[in-house]
Structure 1
Amino acid sequence: MSILHRAAFTTSAARLDQLPEPGAPEVCFVGRSNCGKSSAINVLTNQRRLAFSSKTPGRTRLINMFGIPDPITQGEALGYLVDLPGYGYAAIGREAREEWADVLGGYLHERQSLAGVVLLLDIRRGLTDLDRRLARWIAPTGRPVLVLLTKADKFPYGQRIKAVHAIKKELADIGTLKAIPFSATHRIGLEEAAAHIENWISPQVVP
């Protein structure tokens, strides 16, 4: 069983100073509103509603942390999955969008326990201007990035591979980057993504 299946809700925070002290490795999930972030977290953890999205896209403003318990120490967290607020929804006011940008940028730059970033992109849209802005925040941190090209079931295999190559080329300046086609509903790329995330949290899990 994947260690991700043991994930359980730990805490929510509206601001960075409300987060628990850095400790165990954290893997954050970030992407545009409606990119399939909640669905990805749920299928990776084999749970239906661990993460959930607001009925109004872009309204979820909290950082949600899901702890993965350490089976050896019993009670301590082996690591955390961190669901960051979606960005870029047009109906949200500019002030709110900038506030979220501060939270996203602050977390990516300042969180010492951040082990890796999962960037979710809708494979049909490709890289948007807001995605590029986020990539510019990530690049200086030196953190490894896993790009999940969501809703990959909408494309035939050949088109998925072309999309992966295009994203790798456009995001080459990030540094350590892995991109894979992904679909929560069709479970495309699920095992590969889970193994990658597990290895960030607990390197001994994956050879």
Structure 2
Amino acid sequence: MSILHRARFTISAAQLSQLPPEGPPEVCFVGRSNAGKSSAINVLTNQRRLAFSSKTPGRTRLINMFGIPDPLEADAQLGYLVDLPGYGYAAVNRQEKQQWDQVLGGYLRTRNSLAGIVLVIDIRRGLTDLDLQLAHWIAPTGRPVLVLLTKADKFAYGKRIQAVAAARKQLKDIGALHALPFSATHRIGIEDATQHIENWISPQFVP
């Protein structure tokens, strides 16, 4: 069983100051509203409703953390999966958007326990200007990035491969980058994504 299947809800935070103290490695999921972040987290953790997706894009504005218990030490965490607020939804007013961007940017730049970033992109839309801005924001941190091109079942195999190649080319400035097609409904790319995330959180527990 994957260690990700043990994930349990820990806390929702509106501000960085409300997060638990830094320590165990954290893997965050970030992407545009409606790109499929919640579905990706749920299928990777083998749980139906661990992460919630709002019917209204842009509604979820909290950082949600899911702890992975350490099997060798009671009340300790191996690490956390972190669901960051979706970005790029036009119906959010400017003040809310600025506050939102500060929380998102602050977490990505200053959270020392951040071990890896999962960038979620809708394969049908490809990388937007906002996605590229975020990628350039991430690059100086040197943290590894896994790009999940979600809803890959909507494309034929050949078109999926082309989309992955195009994403890698656009994101070439990010050093430690791995991109793959992904589908929660058709279970495409789940094993590859799981292996990357497990290695970031706790290599000693990966077979």
Cα deviations across residues 5-55 of structure 1 (Å, max 9, x unaligned)? 000000110001111110000000000000000000000000000000122
Unaligned stretches of 5+ residues in structure 2: none
Q: Distance in 2 between matches of 1:56 and 1:122?
A: 17
Q: Distance in 2 between matches of 1:60 and 1:162?
A: 32
Aligned to 1:200: 200
Which range moved further: 88-97 or 25-34?
Answer: 88-97
Q: Distance in 2 between matches of 1:76 and 1:84?
A: 23
Q: Distance in 1 between matches of 2:130 and 2:37?
A: 16
Q: Distance in 2 between matches of 1:55 and 1:16?
A: 25
Aligned to 2:50: 50
Q: Secondary structure at the match of 1:104?
A: helix
CA RMSD across the alignment: 0.8
Q: How many residues matched? A: 207
Provide TM-score, normalisation by structure 1.
Answer: 0.98
| 1:6-85 correspondence runs (5 A) | 6-85=6-85
Q: Distance in 1 between matches of 2:158 and 2:98?
A: 38
Alpha-carbon deviation of 1:95? 1.7
Alpha-carbon deviation of 1:108? 0.5
Alpha-carbon deviation of 1:100? 1.2
Provide TM-score, normalisation by structure 2.
Answer: 0.98
Q: Distance in 1 between matches of 2:86 and 2:64?
A: 12
Unaligned stretches of 5+ residues in structure 1: none
Identity of aligned residues (%): 77
Q: Distance in 2 between matches of 1:155 and 1:74?
A: 45
Q: Distance in 2 between matches of 1:136 and 1:62?
A: 23
Alpha-carbon deviation of 1:193? 0.4
Aligned to 1:113: 113
